[in-house]
Chain A
Amino acid sequence: MTTELRGKSAIVGTGHAGLGEAHGLTAYDVMAQSALAALGDAGLKLSDVDGLFCTMMEDSMPALMAAEYLGIQPRFIDGTMSGGSSFVNYLTSATMALDAGLCDVALIVYGSNQRTASGRLVTASRPPAYEAPYNPRYPISAYAMAAARHMHEYGTTREQLADVAVAARAWAQRNPEAFERGPLTREDVLGSRMVGDPLTVRDCCLVTDGGGAIVMVRADRARDFPKAPAYVLGSAAASSHRQISQMKDFTVTAARDSGARAFAAAGVTPADIQAVELYDAFTINTILFLEDLGFCAKGEGGAFVEGGRIAPGGVLPVNTNGGGLSCVHPGMYGIFTVIEAARQIRGDAPGIQLKDIDLALAHGNGGVLSSQVTAILGSRNTL
């Protein structure tokens, strides 16, 4: 079963800026440089943009701040804030807005300077009232408790979690854009500083600067652009809670729902997907999402990732840029899952370029496993 929006929009440009450290730049500077890079990739100008899809970590009205900074007056704005998943979610609203003629050129954009500005997660969100007194470290305590429960119910091991980080590093080592490219072994991960049991610092994503941007148009225009487009075949969102104490089942995320609907919309199955880009804020995320999206059965994620099975040369290419664990993680990583999926399809991946990629999946996570958004991108061959 496919939806009527399947293949109606296409990514015709991607760009990024300030990956790693963006000394002397504000978050909005990095956002704007990313926008220019993506528009350059598409052969378009800022004055062509009439749809803006943006949120940032530091303001309550970031889309307006971004439009003002860029000097544009978009006809359509979406600033829905569901955490890092927001930017995958914008694929849906941008497709709808383009299809309805509410805009002709959609710009999805994000930027952050959290590493050089403070060295830690910058967030405008308030700690939940019924959790704050217990001082959970946001967000790692939430993910640590999900990992603990997965280990308890399914026998998942710290070694298997470590193998997620090791695989991400192996992809990053071949990606000149990646921030962390040094050697990393399972023993390194297990022996590094414990931050929130059972997660060590190497089970956690990077804290970097960086921004990303995506330019989208209606599919009927997509052939007129300099480079091959990546079409949006299906995208779907699901949410289950905001505070971790409200998560019903700590071992099952709403990705089960978002994934099923995205696959149905695209008319494909997990077995068809050639590159998988998941929001890996922590090593447990990759295991949970591989299970919930249907790449393996619930509880088998640990075995699925073990011993290089998702590393280069393994059974399934996962996080081919090195992910949030080793490539880049500027507060919210979601847009980079889409950028890497699109680049694999368009043939301009910065690291390992996989051969003949027609179908790639991008999955965004927001909050504390709260919001899940899945998108399936395809080449012209999949239309």
Chain B
Amino acid sequence: MQDAKGPDQLFQRALAEGEILLPKCDDCGAYHFFPRVLCPHCHGTAISWKQAGGKGRVHTTTVVRRKPERGGDYNVCVVELDEGVRMMSRVEGIAPGEVVIDMPVTAFVGEAEGVPAVLFKPSEG
């Protein structure tokens, strides 16, 4: 990943270093996610990387039901970050069924399926 060039490589490299970077269009100023070589809003190709603020809200959520012997139930949700982009993730630190729509959450870099991934925990206060 030393020579990371493509948007996906750059995002993954930052994640591996514990940083969440979001692509932002230099032309229209809008963020987008997932990372790509153009802005899906205005189709501009000048994209900069910005550190994510990490604050967001659960836009929608579900509990994937799984037998206890296979690891039990877990959360899958879509979070909308304050930057206006959405990503699939899960909220950790509370029971999967306790995750509710509009709940304020904070991002952190954790691990999912053995790879670095953006995860969320309930925001404090």
Contacts and interface: CB of A to CB of B under 8 A. Distances in A.
B65 A134 contact: no
Chain B contact residues: over half helix, strand or loop, or mixed? strand
B60 interface: yes
A141 to B, nearest CB: 5
A246 B77 CA distance: 12
B64 A132 contact: no
Given A134-B90, A134-B117, A135-B113, A145 B61 contact: yes
Interface residues of B, number: 26
Contacts of B60: 145-146, 148-149, 152, 250
B101 A135 contact: no
A16 B59 CA distance: 41
B8 A129 contact: yes
B88 A244 contact: yes
A136 B88 contact: yes
Given A133-B113, A133-B117, A245-B88, A144 B78 contact: no
B88 A131 contact: yes
A195 B61 contact: no
Nearest to A250: B60
A193 B67 CA distance: 12
Contact of A134 (B8, B34, B76): B76
Contacts of A195: 65
A137 B90 CA distance: 13
A130 B97 contact: no
Interface string A226-256: 0000000000000000011110001000000
A197 interface: yes
B74 interface: yes
Given A145-B77, A245-B86, A133 B115 contact: yes
Nearest to A196: B62
Contact of B76 (A130, A136, A198, A243): A136
B101 A134 contact: no
Given A129-B8, A134-B112, A135-B113, A244 B78 contact: yes
Given A244-B78, A245-B78, A136 B86 contact: no
Contact of A196 (B59, B65, B87): B65
A61 interface: no
Contacts of A250: 59-60, 78
B87 to A, nearest CB: 6
A311 to B, nearest CB: 28
B106 interface: no
Interface in A107-141: 129-137, 141
A344 to B, nearest CB: 35
A297 interface: no
Given A149-B101, A244-B78, A245-B78, A134 B62 contact: no
A383 interface: no
Nearest to B61: A148
B10 interface: no
Closest 9 CB pairs of A and B: A133-B112, A144-B62, A245-B88, A145-B60, A197-B63, A149-B60, A131-B88, A133-B113, A130-B34
29 contacts: A129-B34, A130-B34, A133-B112, A133-B115, A133-B117, A134-B90, A134-B112, A135-B76, A136-B88, A144-B62, A145-B61, A145-B78, A148-B60, A148-B61, A148-B62, A149-B60, A149-B101, A152-B101, A152-B102, A193-B65, A194-B65, A197-B62, A197-B65, A197-B97, A198-B62, A244-B78, A245-B86, A250-B59, A250-B60
Given A137-B64, A193-B65, A194-B65, 16 more contacts: A131-B88, A132-B113, A133-B113, A134-B76, A141-B62, A141-B64, A141-B76, A146-B60, A152-B60, A152-B102, A196-B62, A196-B65, A197-B62, A245-B78, A250-B59, A250-B78
